Structure formats: C-alpha cells, structure tokens
Amino acid sequence: MEKLLDKFLRYVAVETTSDPESETQPSAMREFDLLKMLQKELQDLGIKADLDEYGYVMATIPSNVDKEIPAIGFIAHVDTSPDASGKDIKPQIIENYGGGDILLNAEKELYLKVSEFPEMQQYVGKTIITTDGTTLLGADDKGGVAAIMYAAQYIMEHPEFKHGEIKIGFTPDEEIGRGVAKFDVKKFGAKYAYTIDGGEIGELEYENFNAASAKIHVQGSNIHPGYGKDKMVNSMLIAMELNAMLPVEQRPAFTQGYEGFFHLTDITGTVEETNMGYIIRDHDRTKFETKKELLTSIVEFINKKYENIVTMELKDQYYNMRQEVEPHYFIVEKAIKAIEMAGVKPKVQPIRGGTDGANLSFMGLPCPNIFAGGHNFHGKWEYVPLESMEKASEVIMNIIKLFAE
C-alpha cells in the first residue's frame, strides 16, 4: 500500500485555494486539478468514480456482504482557505518530534512555539508536518482527503474486509461556504455520512454555528480638507463608529465554547467610500437571530444620523446541524465507538465554524464531523501529526465495520 504520508504530500502540492469573489462553481478552476487526480486514483483502485461540472467527485465501493446495510458516505473538501497562500507549499516533516519549539523559517526567524501552542507537547515522539512559514499547509482538508483515500485503498486491496456499500465524496469551495451548493444528495446515494474535516485527534462534532455574512458599504463625501467644514463626510470614520457600536466582548478573540461572535473580516476605504465584511456566528438560533437584528438596528441608526449613507447585504450561510442529526443519534454513537476502537479518547464538542456536513444535514443527509488531525488552520502556523491522519483513516474503517456487524 502507498503510505498515507505520500498521499498527503501529493495532495497539498496542488494549489486549490477557493475564491470568494468568483461566481463560478467551483469558484476556481485550479480546484479541478486535484479533483481530477482523485477521480483517477479512485478509478485506478477499481472504484467507479465520476466528476461532474460543478466539481463533485462521487464514488461507490459496492457491498461485499449479503445482508442489508445502509450506504455510508465519507466526504472531504479539496479547497484551501483564501485567508493565506496555498501556492508552492513546502511541507516540513519533523520525525520523532522531541518537544520544544519548531523552526519554520530561518530567514524570517519564525518558530512554532510551545508557549503559543501548548497542545504541541501531546505529540512528542510523533511525526509532525508543518509549513515553511510562508503558506498554509492544507491539512484542512487534505488531511481528510488523504485519510479517506488511504481507507479506500485498504478496502480495495483487502477483499476479506467486510462492508456494506460505501460512498466517497470530494467537494470544492467549502472554505467559502458554497461546498455543497449544487451537491446532489440523491445521486450520492448514502443513507448517512461523515465529513472528515475536524481538527485535532479525537474530535467529533454534530453541532455547529448558525452562520451569516454581512457586506456593508458606507458612502461618504470627499471635500478638500481645507474646505470640508460641514461638508465632508469621512466614510472611514463612519465605518469605525459603526464597528464600535458592536459589543466588544462578542469578538472572536474573547469567545469560546458555545459563545457566538461578530467578526470583522475585511475593511477597505477612503474618505469617499468604505467597504466592510462581517461574519456572524452563534450556536443558539435565537441568539443568532438577535445578533443579526442588532447589526441591522445599528445600520438603521447610522442611516438616521447621517441621512442614509450605509447599505448592507445580510445573508444566512448555514445553520446548526444538531437539529437534523439528533433524530439519528446512533450515527454519533457509532462514531464515538469507532474512535474508541482506534485507541483514541473521543472529544465530542461543538464546531466553532461550519462544515459541508451542516448543509448536507439540512439537505436530508445526516452528517456528523470527524477529526482529520490538523491544528491552526488557515495560516502559516498550521500543522498536522501524521499519526492523527492515520487514526482518522482507522476510524473510517471502524465505522464501516460497525455498520456491517
């Protein structure tokens, strides 16, 4: 069998950054480079795999048992976050990690520091894969892709492994909230599924944020500053005033667990006009709606004060999948047992984010989320222990075993 590490390194070498400004599906044609690679690898293993125009790879491993077993799906996304460069990734492999800080980039004097990321210490003796300090790594979610592909390879090379029908799905654009916008659940054919898109080893999630995005435009009036009295309206100052009206304690830097937030993701401006982007998150649907109402009321207040100079586009992105998964809680219980069978302690917790599984659950495919092993996603501090990805692959096979019992 090809090593999981070799698969992972091959996948992260392909640039697949999604593009939030694009209107196409997938958002960036470069995503097809990895999708086509995965389709061919599946086909080379003897697995029927299709790739459609929207960037969805769907594959099926037929059942090899006589009894009726529900079809189980495993899904991962191929795109990486636009928050950091995903081009020319140069992974560093630290075998038998001895503890302590890891040098990422000598020229920039960048270290992955235990003082900042103390969870590193739990991986002493493991093989840790890091960035070189100039890009993200792509373990989100190529760690999940590699874990699924490694499991698929094992199953195809070991016909004695008993299983029901297995569905495999790879999606684009998860990082920009459009991962399953055109996903055909009926065509996929799974009764239940799991996204392999979580963080550190042991994580299992079946609840996530309710999510919305807001695009705000402030139209100012630029007058020569020497003659601006009672005439100039500085859009940047209005934007700052608007942001200051949001509760400080509800920013990401001050929240954890089930606490939601307002997050200013981007701002560009001049005196004449300023554009701001926000994301709004909360696990509790009532609190989520209250947050949207608060932002709307602030915009209305600013418009009354400055005579309608602010416009806002507010859109819901996804909802908490808990209400759709809990009626099928046995699939969570099977995942917990599968993690325990792998010798790992389950960490059942809410996702402080979202996955394709959230929207899929509302589309009729209950879909909890399982760890892929990575840490510090979306930036240069990202890393993943090899053994965590291997355990994720083992959990996939354990879930398949449990459904086949």
The per-residue pLDDT string of the chain (405 residues; one tens digit each, 9 = 90 and over) reads 789 999 999 999 999 999 999 999 999 999 999 999 999 999 999 999 999 999 999 999 999 999 999 999 999 999 999 999 999 999 999 999 999 999 999 999 999 999 999 999 999 999 999 999 999 999 999 999 999 999 999 999 999 999 999 999 999 999 998 899 999 999 999 999 999 998 999 999 999 999 999 999 999 999 999 999 999 999 999 999 999 999 999 999 999 999 999 999 999 999 999 999 999 999 999 999 999 999 999 999 999 999 999 999 999 988 999 999 999 999 999 999 999 999 999 999 998 887 889 999 999 999 999 999 999 999 999 999 999 999 999 999 999 999 999
Measured between alpha carbons, how far is residue 150 from residues 157, 249, 302 in Å? 11, 43, 54
- Check residue 328 and give its pLDDT: 97
Question: Is there a single domain that holds both residue 22 and residue 99?
Answer: yes
The CATH code of the domain that includes 280 is 3.30.70.360
**Domains of the chain: total:** 2
- Residue 181 shares a structural domain with residue 84: yes
Residues 185 and 245 in one domain: no
301 and 326 share one domain: no
Q: How far is CA 287 from CA 209, 253, 281, 282, 332, in A?
A: 11, 19, 9, 7, 26
Contacts of 392 (CB under 8 A, 6+ apart): 143, 144, 147, 196, 201, 370, 371, 372, 373
List the CATH number of the domain containing 184. Answer: 3.40.630.10
**Distances from the Cα of 30 to the Cα of 86, 143, 172, 378, angstroms:** 11, 19, 10, 18
SS3 at position 380: coil
DSSP-assigned letter for residue 14: S
If asked whether residues 221 and 278 sit together in one domain, one would say: yes
C-alpha pair distances (Å), 385 with each of 4, 31, 390, 392: 12, 25, 9, 11
Residues 268 and 120 in one domain: no
Together in a domain, 74 and 180: yes
**Tokens, residue 134:** 């100039």
Residue finishing a domain among 261, 290, 318? 318
Nearest of 42, 17, 40 to residue 30 by alpha carbon: 17
What is the chain's alpha carbon radius of gyration, rounded to the nearest angstrom?
A: 23
Residue 1, pLDDT score? 73
Among residues 268, 289, 318, the one where a domain terminates is 318
| CA max distance for the chain | 85
Parent domain of 299: 210-318
280 shares a domain with 188: no
At 340 the pLDDT is 98
Quick one: 135 and 280 in the same domain? no
DSSP string, 83-124: TS--SS---EEETT--SS-EEEETTTTEEE-TTT-GGGGGGT
**CB burial class (10 A; 0-12, 13-18, 19+) of residue 225?**
exposed
Strand-pair category, 102-105 with 110-112: antiparallel
Residues 312 and 335 in one domain: no
Active site residues: 79, 174
Q: Which of 342, 13, 41 is nearest to 170 (CA)?
A: 41
